[in-house]
């Protein structure tokens, strides 16, 4: 059985990676106490002792607000920690998948869908840290596969303390009579985390570099939900256009999937997955 090292396993994505692969790989999922990714020596020791065949690096401070408030702390984890994982992966000849973010495109003056070869000038600290981490990982290990993930959701909750997400919040509000308000100035992919996790294994043969990795979507969030309602035959009258959010700086961080598709990896569209998952949940 091959060996997989996973970082960030207490988080939303990492916990689901373990759940999916635990019967297919021998897994090492070190806690922060067992491996502080900002400590290069600790990282090297874990790699040396476990000898992984594959690494999925999902550990990060992804709270955008926290990154703004504590950039020194988040930078050590998001940039320095990622560099340490990439460096160790190169030294031990291990395939490394690094979970980056569509937030690197936030601030782009180019209209989406965005391509991996675009110059990125992220507007927020988190996006800048992810962009810098990408550059650092490729510098120390050109074989790193850097996956720009979009906004993810699940249809189920694994832990009681887990935060809500787009899908589960929408599903719970459907059981009320609330008016549902969604922004018209925000365009981005919204991806079933299960699709992300399943496709990780397909990335082991990818050449080092950056790949957009998530469901394509060219609709704003209001249009996305409205289209889902129409597909399911629901009344769209309870939907409201939110004109204020991102109104002063409209956001389009949708991603072009052509590079990934050319490698034989494809995600269903945001609308396709939402319709399928919502129908399966409620009917």
pLDDT at residue 163 is higher than 90: no
Q: Which two tokens stand for residue 80?
A: 């320095």
Q: Which two tokens stand for residue 239?
A: 């939907």
Task: Clarify whether residues 226 and 182 are in a common domain.
Answer: yes
Task: Judge whether 263 lies within some domain.
Answer: no
Rounded average pLDDT over 151-174: 91
Task: Clarify whether residues 87 and 171 are in a common domain.
Answer: no
Number of separate domains in the chain = 2
Residue 137 sits in which domain range? 3-151+191-213
Task: Judge whether 262 lies within some domain.
Answer: no
Q: Which two tokens stand for residue 71?
A: 């950039």
CATH number of the domain encompassing residue 52: 3.40.50.720
Question: 248-279 pLDDT, tens per residue?
Answer: 989 999 999 999 999 999 999 999 999 999 99
Question: 95-153 pLDDT, tens per residue?
Answer: 999 999 999 999 998 889 999 999 999 999 999 999 999 999 999 999 999 999 999 99
> Residue 231 in contact with residue 166, Cβ under 8 Å?
no
The mean pLDDT value of the chain amounts to 96
Query: Which pLDDT value is given to residue 160?
Result: 79
Q: Bigger pLDDT: 113 or 164?
A: 113
Task: Clarify whether residues 19 and 92 are in a common domain.
Answer: yes
Task: Judge whether 49 lies within some domain.
Answer: yes
Question: 168-189 pLDDT, tens per residue?
Answer: 999 999 999 999 999 999 999 9
Task: Clarify whether residues 226 and 168 are in a common domain.
Answer: yes
Query: Which pLDDT value is given to residue 109?
Result: 85
Rounded distance between C-alpha atoms, residue 224 and residue 45, angstroms: 46
Rounded average pLDDT over 31-51: 96
- Report residue 227's pLDDT band, with 50, 70 and 90 as the boundaries: very high
Task: Clarify whether residues 64 and 165 are in a common domain.
Answer: no
Task: Judge whether 111 lies within some domain.
Answer: yes
- Report residue 94's pLDDT band, with 50, 70 and 90 as the boundaries: very high
> Residue 158 in contact with residue 268, Cβ under 8 Å?
no
Task: Judge whether 238 lies within some domain.
Answer: yes
Task: Judge whether 261 lies within some domain.
Answer: no
- Report residue 162's pLDDT band, with 50, 70 and 90 as the boundaries: confident
Task: Clarify whether residues 110 and 170 are in a common domain.
Answer: no
Task: Judge whether 144 lies within some domain.
Answer: yes
Task: Clarify whether residues 145 and 184 are in a common domain.
Answer: no
Rounded distance between C-alpha atoms, residue 148 and residue 214, angstroms: 8
Rounded distance between C-alpha atoms, residue 192 and residue 196, angstroms: 7
HSE on the CB side for 180, CA within 13 Å?
A: 23
Question: 42-55 pLDDT, tens per residue?
Answer: 999 999 999 999 99
Query: Which pLDDT value is given to residue 167?
Result: 96
Task: Clarify whether residues 142 and 167 are in a common domain.
Answer: no
Query: Which pLDDT value is given to residue 161?
Result: 80
Task: Clarify whether residues 10 and 147 are in a common domain.
Answer: yes
Task: Clarify whether residues 22 and 45 are in a common domain.
Answer: yes
Task: Clarify whether residues 123 and 179 are in a common domain.
Answer: no
- Report residue 281's pLDDT band, with 50, 70 and 90 as the boundaries: confident
Provide the edge-to-edge strand list for the sheet that holds 145-149.
Answer: 26-28, 3-7, 54-57, 95-101, 145-149, 209-213
Task: Clarify whether residues 75 and 205 are in a common domain.
Answer: yes
The secondary element (H helix, E strand) that includes residue 86 is helix 82-91
pLDDT at residue 220 is higher than 90: yes
Q: Which is it for the CA torsion 178, 183, 184, 186, positive or negative?
A: negative
- Report residue 212's pLDDT band, with 50, 70 and 90 as the boundaries: very high
Task: Judge whether 259 lies within some domain.
Answer: no
């Amino acid at each position: 059985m091959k060996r997989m090292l996973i970082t960030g396993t207490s988080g939303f994505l990492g916990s689901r990676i373990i759940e999916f692969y635990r019967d297919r790989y021998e897994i090492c999922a070190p806690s922060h106490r067992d491996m502080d990714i900002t400590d290069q020596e600790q990282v090297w020791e874990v790699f040396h002792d476990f000898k992984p065949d594959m690494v999925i690096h999902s550990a990060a401070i992804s709270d955008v607000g926290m990154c703004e408030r504590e950039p020194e702390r988040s930078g050590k984890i998001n940039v320095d920690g990622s560099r340490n994982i990439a460096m160790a992966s190169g030294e031990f000849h291990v395939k490394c998948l690094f979970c980056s973010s569509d937030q690197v495109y936030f601030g782009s003056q180019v209209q989406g869908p965005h391509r991996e070869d675009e110059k990125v000038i992220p507007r927020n600290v988190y996006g800048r840290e992810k962009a810098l981490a990408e550059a650092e990982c490729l510098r120390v290990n050109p074989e790193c596969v850097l996956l720009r993930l979009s906004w993810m959701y699940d249809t189920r909750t694994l832990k009681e303390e887990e935060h809500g997400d787009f899908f589960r919040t929408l599903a719970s509000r459907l059981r009320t009579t609330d008016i549902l308000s969604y922004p018209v100035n925000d365009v981005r992919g919204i991806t079933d985390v299960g699709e992300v996790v399943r496709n990780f294994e397909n990335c082991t043969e990818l050449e080092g570099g950056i790949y957009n990795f998530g469901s394509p979507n060219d609709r704003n969030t209001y249009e996305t939900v409205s289209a889902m309602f129409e597909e399911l035959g629901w009344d769209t009258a309870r939907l409201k256009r939110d004109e204020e959010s991102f109104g002063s700086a409209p956001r389009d961080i949708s991603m072009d999937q052509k590079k990934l598709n050319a490698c034989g990896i494809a995600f269903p569209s945001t609308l396709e997955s939402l319709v399928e998952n919502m129908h399966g949940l409620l009917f």
